[in-house]
Amino acid sequence: MNNNSDLNRSPSPLHGIFTAVPPRYDLVNHIITLGQDKRWRKLTAVACLKGNPSCILDLGCGTGDLSLNIARLAGKNVQISGLDYSVPMLELAKRKAEKAGLGDKLAFIHGEATKIPFPDGHFDCVGISFAFRNLTYKNPLCELHLSEVFRVLKPGGRYVIVESSQPQNRLIRALCHFYVRIFVKSVGIILSGNRSAYRYLAESMVDYYSPVGVREMLLRAGFIDVTYRPLLLGAAGIHVAQK
Ligand SMILES: C[S@@+](CC[C@H](N)C(=O)[O-])C[C@H]1O[C@@H](n2cnc3c(N)ncnc32)[C@H](O)[C@@H]1O
């Protein structure tokens, strides 16, 4: 793993939260999504591999689950890199990759989403699972992150995003927000012991943009052909945008 010591001094938004939550991060995720997160990442990996890309970045890779899913499905010549600014997350990712016998297929890199350490037009696909909200919700660096993703993609390359979303149906949306405010927040706080992390999670999920809002944001950043596939009645969804 490439350890970028400059980043340890970085005041990037949410960095403190994501260096504190790793020990129980995966467990909390599985519980609060009722086990659906595994299926959603697998679908996202399949979407990332559409069009036979040879070079893929998993942005905000965390403990590496999207990278691992891609590596399991991809041919051996596909280069897969996971990038994250949290060293504890990356350490878990690396351990999981080695345990799964996929260590050789994956490179985990310590880096910042607003300063991706790759040249212009390097990737056929950038995938992101559950980190897009962090990079866009009330984040002053939102536009910088979008322009960096645009920069490192080849022309025709795809940005594949799986993220929590807003169900279109008002009743389902209200039930979903109730579930997030009561269950997600409490389980997260109890299991992780980190009140601010799961308060932030609940607030940002309830307040987050609709699929149309995300689409507009991606179009403003220069992407085209933006598509959306809702998951679990719209509680989450997969957006795909093209450079
Ligand atoms: C909610 S977690 C998602 C992790 C993983 N992708 C998953 O599917 O579980 C968000 C991840 O994005 C990373 N992250 C947030 N902002 C970042 C930034 N500006 N640069 C790099 N990584 C960032 C965090 O460290 C964290 O690991």
| CB 67 near ligand 1, within 6 Å | no
Evaluate: CB of 60 within 6 angstroms of ligand 1.
yes
Q: Is 85 in the pocket of ligand 1 (CB under 6 A)?
A: yes
User: How many Å lie between the centroid of ligand 1 and the Cα of residue 94?
Assistant: 15
pLDDT score of 20: 78
Neighbours of 99 (CB within 10 A): 10
- 12/186 Cα distance (integer angstroms): 26
Alpha helices in the chain (DSSP H): 15-20, 22-32, 36-48, 65-73, 87-99, 132-136, 142-152, 170-179, 185-192, 195-207, 211-220
Specify the fold of 5-242: Rossmann fold (3.40.50)
For ligand 1, whether the C-beta of 112 sits within 6 Å is yes
Decide if 85 contacts 113 (C-beta within 8 A). yes
Q: Is 69 in the pocket of ligand 1 (CB under 6 A)?
A: no
**Alpha carbons within 13 A on the beta-carbon side of 91:** 10
Write down the domain spans for the chain.
5-242
What local confidence, expressed as pLDDT, does residue 21 receive? 67
Nearest atom of ligand 1 to the alpha carbon of 12: 19
Q: What is the pLDDT of residue 33?
A: 92
Q: Are 41 and 66 in contact (CB under 8 A)?
A: yes
Q: What share of the chain is helix, strand, coil (3-state, %, to 5)?
A: 50, 20, 25
Taking the CB of residue 178, how many other CB atoms lie within 10 A of it?
11
Strands 224-231 and 236-242, by their bridges, are: antiparallel
Kind of pairing between the strands at 224-231 and 106-110: unpaired
Three-class secondary structure of residue 163 per DSSP: strand
**Whether pLDDT at 113 is above 80:** yes
pTM: 0.94
pLDDT tens for 30-49 read: 999 999 999 999 999 999 99
What is the structure's pLDDT at 18? 82
Average pLDDT rounded to a whole number, residues 183-206: 90
Q: Is 66 in the pocket of ligand 1 (CB under 6 A)?
A: yes
Instruction: Give the distance (Å) from ligand 1 centre to CA of residue 171.
Output: 30
